[in-house]
């Protein structure tokens, strides 16, 4: 059993997209999954309500941020994987998630502004480690919304590696991801043979490998 928080100090880097599609990939592995939507905008809830896919049965709204840690621990007792979607502009919520998490995924887009914001998210995760006096949460970077036709995207993994944490498989900027969301589905459900699905599958396998160590 594991709690995974996905966090970042800047919006638009694909946190919710990663949470939802990781949930689908873990479900495909036969794991039971709970998604806690701790973002006041409740994007995960809105996504789930668009259809009757696996997210409609997995997403729970966290309306009171102060209850997040207790909700995560309770969900961890009942399911194999707990995924927490956190808001960009509320560091206290991300911090509560970090205090509960076994693993912290920090997505980052190719923009220099994304890299600047990532440093703040990394500092928050390290602060939670210090408070817990633990090696948890383990921290990994996820290149997100990349377009490999651009110089910024091609250099993103190298830039992230230089910040001292391991880098997981990248997630591209693909139209099919938005199409899936509009139907209330994950990419695994909407386009199971697509390159986008292959990327999320690769990311889930890398995360699973970390959790098994």
Contacts of 22 by beta carbon, 8 Å cutoff, 6+ apart? 4, 6, 83, 200, 203, 204, 207
Per-residue pLDDT tens digits for 72-100: 999 999 999 999 999 987 899 999 999 99
Domain boundaries, the chain: 2-208
Q: How far apart are CA 85 and CA 59, in angstroms?
A: 10
Q: How far apart are CA 102 and CA 135, in angstroms?
A: 9
**Left (φ > 0), alpha (ψ -120 to 50) or beta: where does 197 sit?**
alpha
**Confidence at 152, pLDDT banded by 50, 70, 90:** low
pTM: 0.94
Give yes or no for residue 63 having a pLDDT over 70: yes
Q: How far apart are CA 115 and CA 140, in angstroms?
A: 14
Mean pLDDT calculated for residue range 144-151? 80
Mean pLDDT calculated for residue range 47-60? 95
Give yes or no for residue 115 having a pLDDT over 90: no
Six-digit token string for 167:
């880098």
User: How deeply is 76 buried, as exposed, middle or buried, from its count of CB atoms within 10 A (0-12, 13-18, 19+)?
Assistant: middle
Is 85 or 110 the better-scoring residue by pLDDT? 85
Q: How far apart are CA 75 and CA 1, in angstroms?
A: 10
Q: How far apart are CA 68 and CA 96, in angstroms?
A: 7
User: What pLDDT does 90 receive?
Assistant: 86
Q: How far apart are CA 8 and CA 20, in angstroms?
A: 16
Query: Nearest Cα to 9, choosing from 116, 163, 141?
Result: 116
Percent of the chain with pLDDT over 70: 98
Strand partners, 1: none
**Confidence at 23, pLDDT banded by 50, 70, 90:** very high
Is 166 or 113 the better-scoring residue by pLDDT? 166
Six-digit token string for 68:
């997040």
- CATH no. of 2-208: 3.40.50.300
User: What pLDDT does 110 receive?
Assistant: 85
């Amino acid at each position: 059993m594991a709690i995974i928080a996905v966090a970042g100090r800047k919006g638009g880097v694909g946190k919710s997209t990663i949470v939802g599609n990781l949930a689908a990939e873990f479900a495909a592995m036969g794991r039971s999954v709970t998604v806690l939507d701790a973002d006041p905008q409740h994007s995960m809830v809105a996504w789930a309500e668009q259809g009757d896919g696996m997210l409609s049965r997995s997403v729970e709204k966290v309306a009171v941020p102060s209850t997040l840690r207790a909700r995560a621990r309770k969900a961890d007792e009942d399911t194999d994987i707990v995924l927490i979607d956190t808001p960009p502009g509320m560091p206290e919520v991300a911090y509560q998630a970090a205090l509960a998490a076994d693993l912290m995924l920090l997505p980052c887009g190719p923009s220099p502004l994304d890299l600047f914001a990532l440093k703040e998210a990394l500092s928050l995760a390290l602060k939670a480690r210090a408070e817990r006096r633990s090696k948890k949460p383990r921290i990994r970077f996820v290149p997100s919304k990349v377009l490999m036709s651009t110089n910024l995207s091609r250099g993103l993994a190298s830039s992230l590696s230089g910040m001292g944490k391991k880098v997981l498989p990248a997630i591209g900027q693909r139209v099919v991801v938005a199409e899936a969301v509009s139907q209330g589905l994950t990419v695994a459900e909407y386009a199971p043979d697509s390159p986008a699905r292959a990327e999320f599958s690769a990311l889930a396998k890398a995360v699973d490998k970390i959790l098994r160590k």
